[in-house]
Structure 1
Amino acid sequence: MMAIDKLSPEIFFGGIVKCAKALIEAEKNGTADTSEYDYSVQATCFVCRQPVFKVLRCSACKAIIYCGKECAAKHWKTGPPPVHKSLCSYNKRHMERREYYDSIVKSFPWGRLESDGTFNLDIARARFGVLGGTGTGYWSHRGGTVSHSHQTENHPEAYPSAVRELFSAFHHMDGADLLKSKHPTDIEGWKLEEAFIPYLNFPSAEKRPALLTSKLESWDAWYEWRKLPKASPAALLMSFPLTVYRLLVHCLEVTSPAHASPTKRRPLSIHLLGAEVELNYLPIFAELALLLPYHDINIIIFGSAPATLVAAAKSKPSSLVAKSSLSKKPTKLPLFEYTAPTECGGSTLAIHLCGDSTVWSQKTSSPFSAPDALIALNGGLGSYPEWLPVIQEAHRSEIPFGVSEYAEQSAEHTASMLSMRGAAAGGKQRMLWEYVLGIEANPFHRPGQRNMPAHRMPNHVNGFTIVVVKKD
Structure 2
Amino acid sequence: MECAAKGIESTPCEPGPPTRRCGLCGAVSYCSTSHQRLHWEYHKEECGRFQEQMRKAPLISDFPFTFSDQLSFQGNCAFLESMGLHLRGIWKYECSCHFKLPSVDHSSDGWCLPSLLCPCTDPEIHLKNPMKSWKEYYEWRRLPLHSPVAVLLHWPLTVYHSIQLCLSRSPLSEAGKNLHIHYLGPEREISQILVFSELAALLPGVSIHIEFVGPAVPLSRDGETRYFNKYAHCSDADCSCKSSYDNNSQNSSSFKGTLTLELRKGLYHDLYSEITRDTKPDIIVAPNAGIAAYSTWLPTLELIKGMGVPAVFTDYCEEAAYLASLCIGSVLGRTPEPIQVNPFRQPMPVEETALNLPCYSNCFIFGM
Q: Match of 1:153?
A: none
5+ residue gaps, structure 2: 7-12, 232-240, 242-251
State whether residues 307 and 358 of structure 1, in contact with CA within 8 Å, keep that contact through their aligned partners in structure 2: no
| AA partner of residue 347 (structure 1) | G
Cα offset for 1:128? 1.6
For 2:287, which of 365, 377, 401 is the aligned residue? 377
State whether residues 285 and 313 of structure 2, in contact with CA within 8 Å, keep that contact through their aligned partners in structure 1: yes
Cα offset for 1:454? 5.1
Change (3 A) 1:368 1:445: farther
Change (3 A) 1:209 1:137: farther
Cα offset for 1:386? 1.7
Q: Match of 1:189?
A: 110
Question: How far does the alpha carbon of each residue in 1:95-115 deviate from its partner, in whole angstroms, 9 at most, with x for none?
Answer: 0111012222xx32222268x
State whether residues 216 and 222 of structure 1, in contact with CA within 8 Å, keep that contact through their aligned partners in structure 2: yes
Distance in 1 (CA, whole Å) between partners of 2:354 and 2:292 is: 21
State whether residues 46 and 65 of structure 1, in contact with CA within 8 Å, keep that contact through their aligned partners in structure 2: yes
Q: Match of 1:15?
A: none
For 2:31, which of 55, 58, 67 is the aligned residue? 67
Structure 1 residue 124 and structure 2 residue 79: aligned?
yes
Identity %: 26
Question: How far does the alpha carbon of each residue in 1:126-169 deviate from its partner, in whole angstroms, 9 at most, with x for none?
Answer: 1122222xxx322232854675xxxxxxxxxxxxxxxxxxxxx5
For 1:248, which of 160, 163, 177 is the aligned residue? 163
Structure 1 residue 335 and structure 2 residue 226: aligned?
yes
SS of equivalent residue, structure 1 residue 140: helix
Q: Match of 1:359?
A: 268
Distance in 2 (CA, whole Å) between partners of 1:440 and 1:272 is: 20
Length-normalised TM-score, structure 2: 0.82
Distance in 1 (CA, whole Å) between partners of 2:255 and 2:268 is: 34
Change (3 A) 1:119 1:410: farther
State whether residues 2 and 18 of structure 2, in contact with CA within 8 Å, keep that contact through their aligned partners in structure 1: no
Q: Match of 2:296?
A: 386
Structure 1 residue 298 and structure 2 residue 209: aligned?
yes
| AA partner of residue 195 (structure 1) | L
Structure 1 residue 138 and structure 2 residue 90: aligned?
yes
State whether residues 230 and 254 of structure 2, in contact with CA within 8 Å, keep that contact through their aligned partners in structure 1: no
| AA partner of residue 69 (structure 2) | R
State whether residues 92 and 98 of structure 2, in contact with CA within 8 Å, keep that contact through their aligned partners in structure 1: no
Q: Match of 2:3?
A: 45
Give matches, 1:220-299, under 5 Å.
220-251=135-166, 253=168, 265-299=176-210
For 1:172, which of 103, 113, 127 is the aligned residue? 103
Q: Match of 2:245?
A: none
Cα offset for 1:440? 0.7
Distance in 1 (CA, whole Å) between partners of 2:258 and 2:169 is: 17
State whether residues 404 and 464 of structure 1, in contact with CA within 8 Å, keep that contact through their aligned partners in structure 2: yes
Cα offset for 1:62? 2.0
Distance in 1 (CA, whole Å) between partners of 2:170 and 2:125 is: 19
| AA partner of residue 84 (structure 2) | G
Structure 1 residue 110 and structure 2 residue 67: aligned?
yes
Length-normalised TM-score, structure 1: 0.65
Distance in 2 (CA, whole Å) between partners of 1:241 and 1:209 is: 19
Cα offset for 1:279? 1.3
RMSD: 3.0
SS of equivalent residue, structure 1 residue 297: strand
Change (3 A) 1:229 1:255: farther
